[in-house]
A and B are shown apart, each in its own frame.
Chain A
């Protein structure tokens, strides 16, 4: 791993962590667990698009582990890890089979899977299938936040893509 790559990934992890910690300071938008904008995922999407799956994976993993350490709630770790890794895996796969200008849809589907997996974990943890009733709310929130995050990176790539790629290579 070259020094440039270490510095680049380090900066991205720092940016993702800052967003993650900042977002955790705001009061929850709704009383339901699991609904938040997930802006830290902007960095994961950026890494996935510009750097590839491997770097995106390590940046996501570092952000989740360090983020849980900083914001401090060990029960959240299982939700973040399962949801985040499943989401990244789906987005990586979808980006391989479609064009890059559908990032917004890829991101929305990724967010949907993220929330679904987290709800599955919640059902297993509480051992109460009734918790599944929250699926529609989580899907709507995932759809909106996923779309927003995807569009952000889509436009970033559209307008600054070439310059960024030159900078990062």
Chain B
């Protein structure tokens, strides 16, 4: 193996990553249905386009708490008692290809890819 081979391998990986990274910006999500999972189990399904007044949703289990802020057309984590608070810093959910993740509490908030698969009802 020569230097050029190594550089080529790494460059291909970099280009591939960049392409995949920019994909969410090209493809609009088109969906306003957010799903909240804990441990892979669906806890809530919320149609964000039907939210009129902002409200908060508290997810707590075994002393692990995440407060989710549901606003018209957007959802975010307002506060959490996990050590790194990364889920709070991830901000508002924008794309179905970039879910909000709280690893310590195993919570994932994502937009549904295809809205037609989902019920219209707001389940709490």
Partner-B contacts on A (CB < 8 A): 28, 31-33, 73, 75, 98, 102, 104-105, 108-109, 112, 122, 125-128, 130-131, 133-137, 139-140, 143, 147
Interface residue? B110 (CB, 8 A):
yes
Q: Count how many pairs of residues, one from A and one from B, have CB atoms less than 8 Å apart in the complex.
A: 89
Interface residue? B101 (CB, 8 A):
yes
A-B contacts besides A31-B89, A105-B10, A125-B106, 10 pairs, CB < 8 Å: A126-B106, A128-B40, A130-B108, A133-B24, A134-B98, A134-B101, A136-B16, A136-B17, A137-B21, A139-B17
Q: Mark B81-104, 1 if CB is under 8 A from A, else 0.
A: 001101001110000111101011
Q: How far is the CA of A128 from the CA of B96 in the complex (A)?
A: 13
Q: How far is the CA of A39 from the CA of B8 in the complex (A)?
A: 25
Instruction: Please tell me which one of the listed residues A105, A130, A131 contacts residue B6 in the complex, with CB atoms under 8 A apart.
Output: A105
- Write out the residue numbers on chain B whose beta carbons fall within 8 Å of the beta carbon of A75: 103-104
* A27 CB → nearest B CB, Å: 9
- Write out the residue numbers on chain A whose beta carbons fall within 8 Å of the beta carbon of B96: 130
- Write out the residue numbers on chain B whose beta carbons fall within 8 Å of the beta carbon of A128: 37, 40, 99, 108, 110
Contact (Cβ within 8 A) B84 A108: no
Q: How far is the CA of A155 from the CA of B71 in the complex (A)?
A: 52
Partner-A contacts on B (CB < 8 A): 1, 3, 6-7, 9-10, 13-14, 16-21, 24, 37, 39-41, 83-84, 86, 89-91, 96-99, 101, 103-104, 106-108, 110
Q: How far is the CA of A120 from the CA of B106 in the complex (A)?
A: 14
- Write out the residue numbers on chain B whose beta carbons fall within 8 Å of the beta carbon of A131: 99, 101, 108
Contact (Cβ within 8 A) A127 B98: no
Dominant secondary structure at the A interface: helix
Contact (Cβ within 8 A) B20 A136: yes
* A69 CB → nearest B CB, Å: 15
Chain A residue with minimal CB distance to B101?
Answer: A131
Contact (Cβ within 8 A) A33 B110: no
Q: How far is the CA of A145 from the CA of B108 in the complex (A)?
A: 27
- Write out the residue numbers on chain A whose beta carbons fall within 8 Å of the beta carbon of B39: 126-127
Asked whether A33 and B40 contact (CB < 8 A) given A98-B1, A135-B20, A143-B10, the answer is: no
Instruction: Please tell me which one of the listed residues B7, B16, B101 contacts residue A33 in the complex, with CB atoms under 8 A apart.
Output: B101
Q: How far is the CA of A55 from the CA of B107 in the complex (A)?
A: 38
- Write out the residue numbers on chain A whose beta carbons fall within 8 Å of the beta carbon of B16: 136, 139
Q: How far is the CA of A10 from the CA of B101 in the complex (A)?
A: 37
Contact (Cβ within 8 A) B10 A147: yes
